[in-house]
Amino acid sequence: MVKRTGPTNYQLQQLLVELESKAMESKFWSRIKKDLCKPTRQRREVNIYKINQFARDGETVVIPGKVLSVGEMNKKVDVAAFSFSQEAKVKIESAKGKALSIKELLKLNPDGKKVRILG
């Protein structure tokens, strides 16, 4: 039987340690932590056009995985994710949005209020 070891990415391990205390206080951060603990193949990958389709203008969206660059962005949306492709960052910032890491969002919004999980 294979022993599950969890994520081996060092930055992800540090993020999960930081999320541990917040996960006990908030269901939102608990859900993010649960999604980030999944194996790499099961983690979410969301394209720009999906964010543009489902997010409202001026909203903050969290993707517990990677943001990819397929599609166009024409809304001002702040996107927090574990990782971004280079082109996805450029498209988000050219639409006057922000590309944040989940760690930055944790510091800006420790309660996780008015944030949508996408993916």
Is 5 part of any domain?
Answer: no
Share of the chain above pLDDT 90, in %: 76
Is 3 part of any domain?
Answer: no
Confidence (pLDDT) at 40: 85
Is 4 part of any domain?
Answer: no
The model's pLDDT over 14-47, given as tens digits with 9 standing for 90+, comes to 999 999 989 999 999 999 999 999 888 888 899 9
pLDDT range class, residue 6, cuts 50, 70, 90: confident
Is 76 part of any domain?
Answer: yes
CATH classification of the domain holding 73: 3.100.10.10
pLDDT range class, residue 55, cuts 50, 70, 90: very high
Is 104 part of any domain?
Answer: yes
> In a 10 Å sphere around its CB, with 0-12 CB exposed, 13-18 middle and 19+ buried, how is residue 48 labelled?
buried
Range of the domain at 18: 10-117
Report the C-alpha gap between 61 and 99 in whole angstroms: 10
The model's pLDDT over 58-114, given as tens digits with 9 standing for 90+, comes to 999 999 999 999 999 999 999 999 999 999 999 999 999 999 999 999 999 999 899
Confidence (pLDDT) at 106: 93
Domain count along the chain: 1
Is 1 part of any domain?
Answer: no
